[in-house]
Amino acid sequence: MPTYEVHYFDTSGRADLQRMLLEVAGASYTNVFLNWRTTWPTVKETTAFGVVPKLTVVESDGSRKDLYETSAIEAYLAESLDLMPGPTAFERAEALSVLSALAELEDKVRPTLWLRTLDERKAGHAKYCTETVPKYLKYQERFVRGDWYFGDKLTVTDLKLYQLYLWYEDMYSSYDQNPFKVLAADFPKLNKIIATLDKGKAGEYARKRRNFGKNRWIAKDWKFGRK
């Protein structure tokens, strides 16, 4: 069995789902934290595309190989850790399409995070939660095919959904505005998946090993900040 290294900053960010996949699968991994000011400028020049996260796979013979780009790492881990649906390539491609749609929903709010004024950020988040999120989740709810996205097997798609829920909790729980909770009656299948995962290994990861105490949501400012 290989072991893994997740090279990223001391925050959940784009490495969140990768760590969750490793945790749920019971894989052995180490976080290699980068510092924005001291280590990242040098490390950046050694990466394949100038970005992280980077996943290092350490084989039993000590050989090492590096993989970059968030979506590629997530797909590789899901395949390697038996968290893809099957039995054919078509179902696996369907899973990637779900991941892509959820990532698109996630990215829709990112411009709001960088708006300059408090009023702009509050208005941007309000519009995102009340207009954008329901439009996307409507199709996700319709896709679910059983207890999990793909029937009776837990897959990366379910964990991506839970990761998105956790991100919404980071931002919106202070105001009781997590869309999954506010709109719970509209999305019972999605919320059932979230509730089930919250009771298991994914929930344990979320409560004990997801928050590194550095990056946090500042409720009064409606933005993330460093401690």
Position 154 in a domain: yes
Is residue 210 domain-shared with residue 98, that is, in the same domain? yes
Whether residue 207 sits in one domain with residue 120: yes
**In whole angstroms, what is the distance from residue 63 CA to residue 29 CA?**
15
Choose the final residue of a domain: 35, 57, 80.
80
221 in a structural domain: no
CA distance 135 to 142: 12
Strands 54-58 and 64-68: antiparallel
* 102 and 136 fall within a common domain: yes
Same domain, 168 and 62: no
pLDDT in the model for residue 224: 94
Statement to judge: residues 43 and 107 lie in one domain:
no
Let me know whether 59 and 151 are in one domain: no
The pLDDT value recorded for residue 212 is: 86
Domain edge (last residue) among 62, 80, 98: 80
> Cβ of 142: how many Cβ atoms within 10 Å?
10
97 shares its domain with 205: yes
Same domain, 95 and 205: yes
Token pair 């892509």 is found at: 100
Domain assignment of residue 95, given as a range = 89-214
Q: Do 94 and 204 reside in the same domain of the chain?
A: yes
What spatial distance separates the first Cα and last Cα of the chain, rounded to whole Å? Answer: 37
Q: How far is CA 112 from CA 137, 145, 166, 185, in A?
A: 19, 33, 18, 27
Give the chain's domain count: 2
CATH number of the CATH domain containing 193? 1.20.1050.10
Evaluate the omega torsion of the peptide bond into residue 87 and state whether it is cis, within 30 degrees of 0.
yes
Identify whether residues 210 and 108 lie together within a single domain.
Answer: yes
Cβ(155)–Cβ(85) below 8 Å: yes
Query: pLDDT of the chain along its 227 residues, tens only?
Result: 899 999 999 999 999 999 999 999 999 999 999 999 999 999 999 999 999 999 999 999 999 999 999 999 999 999 999 999 999 999 999 999 999 999 999 999 999 999 999 999 999 999 999 999 999 999 999 999 999 999 999 999 999 999 999 999 999 999 999 999 999 999 999 999 999 999 999 999 999 999 887 789 999 999 999 76
- pLDDT value at residue 227: 64
Residues 54 and 93 in one domain: no
At residue 97, the 3 state secondary structure works out as helix
Q: Is the same domain home to 33 and 64? A: yes
